[in-house]
């Protein structure tokens, strides 16, 4: 590889930016949406977004569990997910899709 992927040259050393916040801001300047993957045991991303005021959290593992256990139908799961997304868009809040340790079939199922 030509470049080190773990390096983020857009981080400001003077402002002491965190990698996560700077990566999100950098993605926005490029007109993109940041995809944050946290495989650590510390769950830094979860802690950051769950505590953020106004954040809408879509718990995908809960969606799958509810559907497989018969607590909600697939239709109800999808309606609830759409409502959460629309609410986040209308209010301009963060829409956080929390996967936990699940691997949902977004293309085929959701």
Q: Is the pTM of this model over 0.75?
A: no
Of residues 61 and 5, more confidence is placed in 61
**Residue 98: enclosing H or E segment and its boundaries?**
strand 95-98
* pLDDT on residue 2: 43
* pLDDT on residue 83: 96
Q: Alpha-carbon torsion 58, 63, 64, 65, what sign?
A: positive
pLDDT at 58 over 70: yes
* pLDDT on residue 8: 57
Each residue's pLDDT tens digit, 16-57: 555 677 777 888 888 887 777 777 777 777 777 777 788 888
């Amino acid at each position: 590889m030509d470049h080190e992927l773990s390096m983020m040259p857009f981080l400001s050393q003077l402002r002491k930016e965190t990698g996560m916040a700077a990566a999100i801001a950098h993605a926005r300047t490029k007109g993109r949406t940041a995809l944050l993957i946290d495989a650590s045991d510390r769950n830094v991303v979860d802690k950051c977004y769950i505590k953020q005021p106004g954040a809408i959290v879509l718990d995908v593992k809960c969606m799958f569990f509810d559907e497989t256990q018969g607590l909600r139908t697939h239709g109800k799961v999808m309606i609830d997910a759409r409502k959460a997304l629309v609410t986040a868009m209308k209010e301009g809040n963060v829409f956080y899709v929390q996967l936990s340790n699940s691997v949902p079939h977004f293309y085929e199922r959701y």
